[in-house]
Structure 1
């Protein structure tokens, strides 16, 4: 569908996005470039909101439904630059691949959305298309996207996170759980006069590991995994620790809530209170906060629900048929990681799918890359998905 000149223009946009570092909270250069590019490509409107999200609008000839194509502008850091064979921000091309941080996660998909949708003839659209690049997805899945959805009443959402050009119809969610045990400080030469919070944490951890968790036939098993542990004071310096704090990563299936996730741990704490003298503990969903590059504060609980769209839903079925009909083989699949779909589908119930170039396994890796062939096919896929849904 794309002619050679268009393919080169798309590759150029992708390279320019990669060349602009955009850590979470530092996406301003990418946002400004995207806004400028949208204007040059003939979008009807393009703007940056108060949180730093960039939004472009393409108006159809007739009124109809609203379709949002969404991706995030931020990337994880380059933690080991000495191990990269390619400049992380050079956007070098070699053997049909564009290399650089964010190439796969997810500046390739963003460039394909931005460019591909601009090629759709307005007279073939009944409704409006929005292309959205959000901030801070890597640390707050869906929170910044929610600020966009507060103002744009989407009928459909298409996420650009990597699917290998399949149609993803769901994902497990994610919760960050904080468990604390309380103790009493004492000199470590006289531990009997204190209460060691770490010792009290040990049976609690063991109990949490033995919890029976739910499963879903399509999304997979719910998971709980310890990701960090620290005691106070730290360093100890001959002091019996008076607090121990553990973080658990909890992967969620559809239907799980904050209350249902915390209840078995709360029950375990109550059971241990009856068995261990002076046992004191608490559990909660973690809260995070950060400053966007525009100076706006984002604060939210780290609870991002799972979601699943029925295969027979028109968004899923029409999108699958559309890409298959232009010769891009696709099937229904799912994400293994958490995405902004936790906000659109999990919180708000907006029909959502994922469709993006590249493999999940290429996210956050050394010498991250995207295949140019996948990039081009993604743009062509976005064109036919939008044209089909808003026909």
Structure 2
């Protein structure tokens, strides 16, 4: 089917249906925060709403959609939805619509982050752009394909995933799907990763590498600092040297401006932990954690 004909067949986005679904999904976002061990998301809360929209059009009810709910950890599922085409092997896929979110402290927000609100033409709430809005949008696309039933040569696949925002726990989301070969057939055609935290297409992004630096010093009373090795100071000095070497090895790349990258490659701390103790104690250990964001122009 020609692109123009397909657009005409699918029509415009049903805004009322989209807003209704997004309202339900954002309403679950308090339980989708991903920061183990304190906060472990329950992605099946989202899948329930997606299935409510799509199961009436699935093959189990006489519809065209092939729906596969894949779970590796209780309450933390992934969802693969297919609209079959007419030509075997031809495929187009949308992957990366993740159902977990980063944490949000309501005290830091001017509105409730865990419910959808509308301010003019703005949709507000945790996950509207990263990535629950994408979940709702692609759900509406698959629903519309099932409703209109256009004859496409390409099979269209949507892969909704768990556990994108944190790598402390593995074997839950897309890594497990790849390991089990469930995404192998997607290699036969274009794959669009639908997870840009913005409102326009993104043709390139920086990869994320988490890191952790464990520092061991010597605990002692702060009145006798010469008998201690301050783990906090030791960690700061070590991290300073590591960062200096990183930015020497991975300086801003000229292609970053060509492709509109907002920042060059970065390495920075984002979390700092130590066992605790009195203010008059020099800590003997601490852990610094952070990430590396590396633009794709470096190997």
Q: What are the Cα deviations for residues 97-152 of structure 1, in whole angstroms up to 9, with x where unaligned?
A: 44333222222222221122343465532242221221122223997122223312
1:1-391 equivalent positions in 2, closer than 5 A: 1=8, 6-21=14-29, 22-23=31-32, 24=34, 25-41=41-57, 42-51=63-72, 52-70=77-95, 71-80=97-106, 83-85=109-111, 87-120=112-145, 124-140=151-167, 144-149=173-178, 150-153=181-184, 154-155=186-187, 156-162=190-196, 166-211=200-245, 212-214=248-250, 215-216=252-253, 217-218=255-256, 219=261, 220-231=263-274, 233-236=275-278, 238-254=280-296
Pair 1:83–1:247, CA change in 2 (3 A) = closer
Q: What are the Cα deviations for residues 50-95 of structure 1, in whole angstroms up to 9, with x where unaligned?
A: 231122111112213332212011223441258444x545434453
Q: CA RMSD in A?
A: 3.2
How far residue 194 of structure 1 moved from its aligned partner, in angstroms, is 4.2
Distance 1:78 1:226 in 2: 19
Distance 1:5 1:137 in 2: 26
Distance 1:177 1:17 in 2: 31
Aligned positions, number: 255
How far residue 239 of structure 1 moved from its aligned partner, in angstroms, is 4.3
Look up the SS of the partner of 2:71 in the other structure.
coil
Look up the SS of the partner of 2:167 in the other structure.
coil
Distance 2:50 2:159 in 1: 10
- Answer 1 or 2: which has greater strand percent: 1
Pair 1:237–1:5, CA change in 2 (3 A) = closer
How far residue 26 of structure 1 moved from its aligned partner, in angstroms, is 1.7
Q: Give the TM-score, by structure 2 length.
A: 0.71
Gapped runs of 5+ residues in structure 1? 258-391
